[in-house]
């Protein structure tokens, strides 16, 4: 009997001990989960417009970890495009590269690999040794390459980012933000469409060994086709990802995940909400443009603006025509597909039913001719209905007609300066006009000569968005202009189509 009691007490004591230990472990885990995550930040961006769909701590400076390698690859793509590198060139492994800690490929000093294999090694294995070797190949030294990386970041508009190495190996001086990384992801997608597919590589085989992409979410989330994961102890689990559904592409960034699984689940949730928040059927690609030149306002220099039509049309040479500055006079036809019947008065414009679709913008003024006609063009663009407006311009009135078969000076300038910069996307035309005017006044005359302000309308579930762009730059001049503006993105000819 005594033995049974002792045995019972021993079992009871053991159970209580196990229970207390389990409770303590659970409490510690729960406490950790309930504590604020000071490393967390996120953002979701419409890749086409730059519209922010959600954000949290988006401008907080954090550690990018291997997200850094996206910029390493951007400079590699730049060297490939310029001809300084080819995909078949060899990347030698230096002692510095070989000394890097994992993740790594592990080649010995003096061995080499093709540039293309190096790209694959970065996007799949996230190889630190290869990142250093590639930096030395492109920049001479890794430190010089890091300077190039930071300079490129400024060109893109990454104002809160500093790079000191090519791999993302932790250094307190190497910082970025969720917003800056979203800008970088967007830049890669539209600036280097010919190389973006590398970020979607799921498996890579080198010297008989297979490497799997660390971004496992790419095989689980519908439409995701890149970009890059990152992790160091100081950063948590980071991810820059892009997904496309229909004609909409999003860029999402998460910093500071507590685990790869929780980070991936959170990213999927953010992207789901992002796709639900934008209209996947209300816009088409920007192809053609209609000129708007409003009557001069006393005491103010008139701002000439182009409003881009979202109606898909066959690209044709734009012609310059001489027009008498009289109300009701119609602009010459922009494309052979259109046979528009222009409105004869602004009274008729104001009565048009299409205006009901844009009254919620908060800046509609029936007395303002420019507001009425811009709104109608936005409506016509999405409805795919023709619209042309009268133009008042003292400069065009004095100009001689140009034969429609002969490209005008505007065409010659456009062909040599096909780049644009986007300075924002706004729900209000007042804000859009103000942003364009501010940008034109901020930039030096060398960066505004022959530059055309353009407004590209976009229909979303939130209402109309007006993308403010300045067109007529070369690649280099667009980059220079963006360095002088707070919010700016260069737009390549491919991205503008």
Report pLDDT for 339.
Answer: 30
Residue 443 lies in a domain: yes
Paired strand residues for 460: 463
Q: What is the mean pLDDT of residues 194-212?
A: 92
Verify that 218 and 339 share a domain, yes or no. no
Q: Residue 228, annotated ligand binder?
A: yes
Verify that 304 and 252 share a domain, yes or no. no
Residue 56's nearest CA partner among 264, 244, 256 is 256
Q: Is the dihedral of CA 209, 127, 114, 202 positive or negative?
A: positive
CA trace torsion 165, 166, 167, 170 (10° rounding): 20
Residue 22 lies in a domain: no
Contact 255, 168 (CB under 8 A): no
Q: How confident is the model at residue 344 (pLDDT cuts 50, 70, 90)?
A: very low
Question: CA 199 to CA 185: how far, in whole Å?
Answer: 10
Active-site choice (66, 167, 283, 309)? 66
Across 175-184, 196-205, 386-395, least confident range? 386-395
pTM, full prediction:
0.56
Across 12-21, 124-133, 250-259, 321-330, least confident range? 321-330
Task: Map residue 308 onto helix, strand or coil.
Answer: strand
Verify that 174 and 74 share a domain, yes or no. yes
Residue 10 lies in a domain: no
Instruction: Tell me 294's DSSP state.
Output: P
Report pLDDT for 305.
Answer: 53
Residue 25 lies in a domain: no
Q: Is the dihedral of CA 336, 341, 345, 346 positive or negative?
A: negative
Verify that 120 and 251 share a domain, yes or no. yes
Residue matched to tokens 């890149």 = 226
Verify that 147 and 196 share a domain, yes or no. yes
Residue 383 lies in a domain: yes
Report pLDDT for 4.
Answer: 56
Query: Of 276, 296, 319, which marks where a domain is finished?
Result: 276
Verify that 262 and 354 share a domain, yes or no. no
Residue 2, φ and ψ in degrees, nearest 5: -65, -40
Contact 253, 274 (CB under 8 A): no
Residue 215's nearest CA partner among 243, 174, 183 is 243
Question: CA 241 to CA 267: how far, in whole Å?
Answer: 8
| Domain with 415 in it | 288-496
Residue pLDDT, tens place only, 366-378 = 333 344 444 444 5
Report pLDDT for 17.
Answer: 53
Q: What is the mean pLDDT of residues 269-284?
A: 70
Verify that 268 and 334 share a domain, yes or no. no
Verify that 322 and 259 share a domain, yes or no. no
More confident residue, 442 or 240: 240
Query: Of 250, 276, 302, which marks where a domain is finished?
Result: 276
Q: How confident is the model at residue 355 (pLDDT cuts 50, 70, 90)?
A: very low
69 tagged catalytic:
yes
Residue pLDDT, tens place only, 70-120 = 999 999 999 999 999 999 999 999 999 999 999 999 999 999 999 999 999
Contact 108, 133 (CB under 8 A): no
CB-facing half-sphere around the CA of 2: CA atoms within 13 A: 0
More confident residue, 78 or 397: 78
Verify that 257 and 393 share a domain, yes or no. no
Question: CA 181 to CA 163: how far, in whole Å?
Answer: 12
pLDDT at 418 over 60: yes
Q: Show the tokens assigned to 397.
A: 């009135």
Report pLDDT for 32.
Answer: 55
Q: For the purposes of burial, counting CB atoms within 10 Å of the CB of 159, is it exposed (0-12), middle (13-18) or buried (19 or more)?
A: middle
Contact 156, 144 (CB under 8 A): no
Query: Of 230, 252, 276, which marks where a domain is finished?
Result: 276
Say how many residues make up the chain: 497
Mean pLDDT of the chain: 73
More confident residue, 213 or 283: 213
Q: What is the mean pLDDT of residues 343-352?
A: 34
Helix (H) or strand (E) holding 236: strand 236-245
Q: For the purposes of burial, counting CB atoms within 10 Å of the CB of 246, is it exposed (0-12), middle (13-18) or buried (19 or more)?
A: exposed
Residue 159 lies in a domain: yes
Across 50-59, 165-174, 368-377, least confident range? 368-377
pLDDT at 358 over 80: no
Contact 61, 160 (CB under 8 A): yes
Sheet hosting strand 288-292, strand order edge to edge: 288-292, 305-309, 452-460, 463-473, 419-426, 489-491
pLDDT at 30 over 60: no
Report pLDDT for 33.
Answer: 57
Residue 164 lies in a domain: yes
Q: How confident is the model at residue 298 (pLDDT cuts 50, 70, 90)?
A: very low
Verify that 236 and 378 share a domain, yes or no. no
| Beta strand pairing call for 419-426 and 489-491 | antiparallel
Query: What percentage of the chain's residues is helix, strand, coil (to nearest 5)?
Result: 40, 20, 40
Domain count, the chain: 2
Active-site choice (42, 103, 126, 309)? 126
Residue 2 lies in a domain: no
Report pLDDT for 49.
Answer: 84
126 tagged catalytic:
yes
- Find the CATH number of the domain harbouring 169: 3.40.710.10
Verify that 50 and 113 share a domain, yes or no. yes
pLDDT at 39 over 60: yes
What percentage of residues in the chain have a pLDDT greater than 70? 63
Q: Show the tokens assigned to 295.
A: 């009557």
Preceding amide of 390 cis, omega within 30:
no
Residue 185's nearest CA partner among 237, 103, 254, 133 is 254
Verify that 232 and 178 share a domain, yes or no. yes
Q: Show the tokens assigned to 136.
A: 């030395």
Report pLDDT for 175.
Answer: 97
Active-site choice (69, 183, 248, 459)? 69
């Amino acid at each position: 009997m005594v033995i049974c009691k002792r045995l019972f007490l021993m079992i009871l004591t053991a159970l209580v001990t196990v229970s207390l230990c389990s409770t303590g472990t659970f409490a510690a885990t729960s406490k950790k989960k309930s504590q604020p995550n000071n490393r967390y930040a996120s953002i979701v961006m419409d890749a086409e417009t730059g519209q922010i769909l959600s954000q949290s701590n988006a401008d907080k400076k954090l550690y990018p970890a291997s997200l850094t390698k996206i910029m390493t690859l951007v400079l590699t793509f730049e060297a490939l495009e310029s001809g300084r590198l080819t995909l078949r060139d060899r990347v030698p492994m230096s002692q510095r590269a070989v000394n890097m800690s994992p993740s790594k490929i592990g080649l010995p000093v003096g061995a080499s690999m093709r540039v293309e294999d190096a790209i694959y090694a970065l996007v799949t294995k996230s190889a630190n040794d290869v990142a250093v070797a590639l930096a030395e190949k492109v920049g001479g030294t890794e430190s010089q390459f890091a300077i190039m990386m930071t300079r490129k970041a400024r060109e893109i508009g990454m104002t809160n980012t500093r790079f000191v190495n090519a791999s993302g190996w932790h250094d307190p001086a190497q910082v970025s933000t969720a917003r800056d990384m979203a800008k970088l992801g967007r830049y890669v997608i539209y600036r280097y469409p010919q190389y973006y597919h590398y970020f979607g590589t799921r498996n890579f085989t080198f010297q008989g060994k297979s490497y799997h992409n660390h971004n496992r979410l790419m095989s689980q989330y519908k439409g995701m086709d890149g970009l890059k994961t990152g992790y160091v102890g100081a950063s948590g689990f980071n991810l820059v990802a892009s997904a496309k559904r229909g004609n909409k592409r999003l860029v999402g960034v998460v910093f500071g995940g507590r685990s790869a699984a929780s980070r991936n689940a959170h990213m999927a949730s953010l992207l789901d909400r992002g796709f639900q928040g934008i209209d996947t059927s209300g816009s088409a690609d920007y192809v053609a443009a209609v000129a708007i030149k409003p009557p001069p306002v006393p005491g103010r220099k008139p701002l000439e603006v182009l409003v881009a039509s979202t109606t898909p049309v066959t690209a044709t040479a734009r012609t310059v025509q001489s027009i008498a500055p009289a109300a009701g006079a119609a602009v010459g036809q922009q494309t052979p597909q259109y046979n528009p019947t222009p409105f004869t008065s602004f009274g008729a414009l104001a009565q048009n039913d299409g205006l009901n679709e844009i009254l919620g913008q908060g800046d509609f003024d029936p007395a303002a001719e420019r507001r009425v006609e811009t709104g109608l063009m936005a409506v016509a663009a999405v409805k795919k209905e023709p619209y042309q407006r009268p133009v008042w311009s003292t400069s065009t009135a004095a100009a001689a007609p140009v034969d429609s078969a002969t490209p005008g000076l505007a065409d010659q300038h456009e062909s040599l300066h096909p780049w644009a910069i986007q300075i924002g996307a706004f729900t209000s035309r007042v804000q859009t006009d103000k942003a364009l005017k501010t940008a034109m006044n901020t930039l030096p005359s060398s960066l505004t000569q022959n530059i055309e302000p353009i407004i590209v309308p976009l229909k979303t579930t939130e209402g109309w968005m007006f993308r403010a762009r300045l067109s007529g730059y070369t690649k280099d001049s667009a980059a220079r202009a963006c360095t002088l503006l707070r919010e700016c993105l260069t737009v390549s000819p491919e991205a503008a189509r």
